[in-house]
Structure 1
Amino acid sequence: MLTDIMYVTVYVTDQDRALRFYTEGLGLEKRIDFSGPDGRFLTVGVPESPVEILLWSHAAAPGQPGGEGPRAALGPLFLESDDLRKDFEILRQRGVVFEQPEPEDYPFGVRIEAVDPDGNRVSLRQKRKQWPTPPASWPRRSKPTAIGCAPSRTACWAHTPTPRTWSRKPGYASSARTRRPSATWRAG
């Protein structure tokens, strides 16, 4: 059975230049540097992370990396930050080139795209902060209610507006195991 991701490959035309970008620019650590029969096996990684990025030497090819502009294809790497705006300033001072002038908010957090010396996009992300835990004084519900979802004809689980009041929408199967509409259900 598969258990983990070992390597993610980024194709580069100059491994030494790429190594400087990923270690000195992005702050990753060099992990493996071995010259073998198939070429130089060079990896970097985020400190404390088991996943390694293989910087594999590859001749420049037309169309790689793909696209230009802000809506071009995503890069092969997504790196996570706990404070992307702060890290952006540090990386910019180190000479890292970005596609946008500043990190931008999006539905899942904050993002910006860096570009390595070979034009590979490196997506830097910060996850959105989780909603705070509701206070203990708020009413708690311990049991869901089935509410019909007409387009898919499945039962959705949600609570009723009144605390500690639970009911099942009429016309639904009574067995909690089935979670399917009963024969009286009609598409609206």
Structure 2
Amino acid sequence: MATKAYAALLRGINVGGSKKVPMARLRPLIEGLGHDDVRTYLQSGNATFTSDHGDEETLAAELSEAIEKEFGFAVDVIVRDHAYLASVADACPFDAGSLEGKQLHVTYFSGPVDPERFAPVDPAAFAPEDFRLGPRELYLYAPEGLGSSKLAVALSRPALNKGLIATSRNWNTVVKLVEMTGA
């Protein structure tokens, strides 16, 4: 199998004092799983690495299991390769170049997204906020940022995301992960 570059997106760590996963400990943990070129970005659960074994699902499960063993708590992990990350950035339905990074977010899902799940959410009711779905991602335009977004709250309801792992990144992080996995 050829070596590929991946990003691991850890959900819900280092927020509000719980589920602490120091990046300085995450890097050697990933290396210990047999992966190379391990780097982290910020403290919010973004790591990149190269590997010549496994697929996205296997790599995510392996990393999640290793984190639970090392830190004593479960962490949902989504792993995506460079080609996917680049395609998400390229397919952005909003004018990313004219927006601040905090205004545009991508929610990555662990599997395909059925548009019917999100049919009950009427974007017009949240204007000027807006969202668009991709195959395994959701793009959210929140002009005042994620923290004050009523649409983000509506989109994160458990019924809409049932059976899927979902984790969001702002546009700056989306772009940085494409750069880090493309180098």
TM-score for the superposition, normalised by structure 1: 0.21
- Whichever structure has more helix as a proportion of its residues is 2
The higher relative CO (CA closer than 8 Å, separation ≥ 6) is in 2
**Which is greater in Rg?**
1
Q: Higher strand proportion, which one?
A: 1
> When the two structures are superposed, what TM-score results if normalisation uses the length of structure 2?
0.22
